Amino acid sequence: MVSQDWMEKDFYAILGVPKDVDEKTLKKTYRKLARQWHPDAKPGDTAAEKKFKDIGEAYAVLSDPEQRQQYDAVRAMGGGARFTAGGPGGAGAGGFEDVFAQMFGGGGGGARNVRFSTGGNAGGIDLEDLLGAFGGAGGFQQQGGQGFPGGFAGGGHGPRGGARGHDVEASTTLDFHAAASGETVTLSKPDGGRITTRIPAGVKDGQKIRLRGKGEPAPVPGGEPGDLILHVAVRPHPVFGREGDNLTLDLPVTFAEAALGATVPVPTLDGGTVKVKIAPGTPSGRVLRVKGRGIKARKGTGDLLAKVQVVVPQRLSDKAREAVETLREEDGSTDPRAELMARARP
C-alpha cells in the first residue's frame, strides 16, 4: 500500500531508530515507547494519545518486511514529496509526475515527458506494471473510470494480497479462584482502545489465549485484523495447589487419627468442606482422592488430592508421655528404616 503518510512521515525518526535497525531492536524500542506513551499512563493527554498512535503506525509498517521495503523505496524516491494533481496547477509542487521522474532519472520539468499507458505500448511505461512495484501482485483496476493503486477497487472491494494486521500481546493476572471459575477482564490495546473478554474457567498459570481479530487492524482496507495473544498469570493460593485439573492440598491429621483411623473434614475451593475417611495406620504422605472436587475444565472436572501430613505433638502431658513410651516398648523390635538401609547399599 502506498500511503500519503509514507511520503510525509519519517517512521524511523518517530521511533528514534536508524534506518538499518534490526528486528529485535525495533521491537524492543517499540515496546518501551508504547509503555511510555500509553494513554493509561498519561490520562487526558491528547498529545500523548497522538504520539502513541504514531508510534503504533510506524511500528506496524517497519516491522513488516514487505511494507518496510516499499516504504523505504517510496521515501527514497519521493524525498518527502506529496502526490498531488498534475497539470498547470501542479507545476513545481513535487507532484505525482515528479516522483516517477526521479525514479526513471528525470528531473524538474522532465517529468512532463514521462508517458503512462495501461497497455503494452513500447514507447511508454506500463502503468499497471509500475504500480505493481508498490503492491506486488496488486496491479491496477478500473472502477467507474477511476484508477485505484494497491490491488483494490473502489466500491468496497477488498485487497488481492490478503494483507493481515500484526498480532499484539497483552498480559493479565488473576487470583486462584478467578482462574478456576473464569473471569471477565478489560484489556488495553496498543492503539489506545479497550476490549472486554471472558477468560475461560480452568485457565492455568502461564497459559496463552488467542483472541481472534483483536490485534492491529489490517494495513489495507478490507484486510484481516491480527490477533491478540493474552498471557495469563495466576496468583498462588495459600492452601490449594494445582496438578493439571486436580486440586492439591496438605491435610494435617493427628497421630491418633492416623494410627487408629478417623473421618475428618477437608476444605474445598468453593468455601465448603467434604468428609474423607482416614484408614487405621495411614502413614504421612499418603494421598486421599476426592472425586469431582477439582478444577472444572472443558474436558471434565478434576479431583481433589489431599496429602496426609501426620502432626507430631510439640508438648505431651505426663499421661500422654507414658502412653507413647508404652507404644515404643511394644514396637521396639520394629526398625522402620531397615528396608531403606538395605536398598541404599551398593
Indicate the domain borders of the chain: 4-149, 168-234, 241-344
- Of residues 8 and 92, the one with the higher pLDDT is 8
Check residue 126 and give its pLDDT. Answer: 40
Check residue 48 and give its pLDDT. Answer: 83
Check residue 5 and give its pLDDT. Answer: 60
What would the mean pLDDT of 267-289 be, rounded to a whole number? 95
Above 60 in pLDDT, residue 124?
Answer: no
Check residue 188 and give its pLDDT. Answer: 76
Task: Enumerate the H helices of the chain as residue ranges.
Answer: 4-8, 11-15, 23-37, 46-62, 65-78, 96-103, 127-135, 176-181, 255-260, 318-330, 338-344
Nearest CA-CA partner of 159 in 130, 134, 129: 134
Domain 168-234 shares a fold with domain 241-344: yes
CATH code for residues 4-149: 1.10.287.110
pLDDT tens for residues 1-50? 445 567 778 889 999 999 999 989 998 998 888 888 887 777 778 888 88
Above 70 in pLDDT, residue 119?
Answer: no
**With pLDDT > 70 as the criterion, what percentage of the chain qualifies?**
73
Interatomic CA distance for residues 171 and 77, integer angstroms = 41
pLDDT tens for residues 285-342? 999 999 999 999 888 899 999 999 999 888 889 998 998 888 888 877 788 888 889 9
Interatomic CA distance for residues 322 and 328, integer angstroms = 10
- Among 68-77, 83-92, 131-140, 282-291, top mean pLDDT goes to 282-291
pLDDT tens for residues 48-65? 888 888 888 888 889 988
Check residue 253 and give its pLDDT. Answer: 96
From the candidate CATH numbers 1.20.1250.20, 3.40.50.10470, 2.60.260.20, 3.40.50.2300, the one assigned to the domain spanning 168-234: 2.60.260.20
pLDDT tens for residues 142-167? 333 333 333 333 333 334 445 888 88
What band does 128 get if pLDDT is binned at 50, 70 and 90? Answer: very low
What would the mean pLDDT of 234-241 be, rounded to a whole number? 94
Check residue 291 and give its pLDDT. Answer: 95
Check residue 283 and give its pLDDT. Answer: 93
What would the mean pLDDT of 199-220 be, rounded to a whole number? 88
Three-point CA angle 85, 90, 95, nearest 5° = 65
- Rg value, the chain, Cα: 35
Above 50 in pLDDT, residue 97?
Answer: no
Check residue 272 and give its pLDDT. Answer: 93
Check residue 336 and give its pLDDT. Answer: 81
Check residue 171 and give its pLDDT. Answer: 87
What band does 277 get if pLDDT is binned at 50, 70 and 90? Answer: very high
Tell me which fold the domain 241-344 belongs to.
Answer: HSP40/DNAj peptide-binding domain (2.60.260)
Interatomic CA distance for residues 82 and 6, integer angstroms = 10
Check residue 109 and give its pLDDT. Answer: 41
Above 50 in pLDDT, residue 202?
Answer: yes
